[in-house]
Amino acid sequence: MIDELDRKIVRALNANARKSFRVVAKEVGTSVTAVIRTVKKLEAAGAIGGYVPVVDPEYFGFSLAAVVAVRISKGRLIETQKRIAQDPHVAAVYDVTGEWDSFIVGRFSDREDLNGFIKGLLALPHVDRTVTHIVLNVVKEESRLPV
């Protein structure tokens, strides 16, 4: 069960996961031991799965973002989604309700890179159809939760 101290510690780590436990303890008003114990508990429970830098995709040459709707043959949904998820261009694979089976969010260096990705999707045995939406502007993109 998550309590207010857990939330405060996660908020502090969300702001900067490279902070020392000593700094986090001072920010949230508890002991270093309590921070260590809480972080270990959250990691063991799978609530915290790792620590990654927030990277600017454009800096690394991935200036084109796209959202791709995918229709997948019945009975092959999960295995096809897992296969798509293995592609390094893919940032997210969503299993959704409605007209489409999945939405894929990906990052690409240019149109040719995106074109190759889409052609590869369509070549997969159980992908029936795709519709690609190129992202013009990112208004908000946040992976951290408002805990």
Instruction: Tell me if 64 is assigned to some domain.
Output: yes
Edge-to-edge order in the sheet of strand 64-72: 90-95, 102-108, 64-72, 127-134
Task: Please indicate, yes or no, whether residues 31 and 95 belong to a single structural domain of this protein.
Answer: no
Rg over alpha carbons for the chain, rounded to the nearest Å, is 20
**What is the Cα–Cα distance from 34 to 86, expressed in whole angstroms?**
38
Mean local confidence (pLDDT), 97-107: 96
Give the Å distances, CA to CA, from 60 to 50, 63, 109, 134, 136: 22, 8, 9, 19, 18
- Is 51 domain-assigned? no
The mean pLDDT value for 44-53 works out to 89
Domain count, the chain: 2
Half-sphere exposure of 59 (CA within 13 A, CB side): 3
Over residues 80-93, the mean pLDDT reads 97
pLDDT over 90 (residue 120): yes
Q: What is the pTM of this model?
A: 0.83
Residue 12 belongs to domain spanning: 4-44
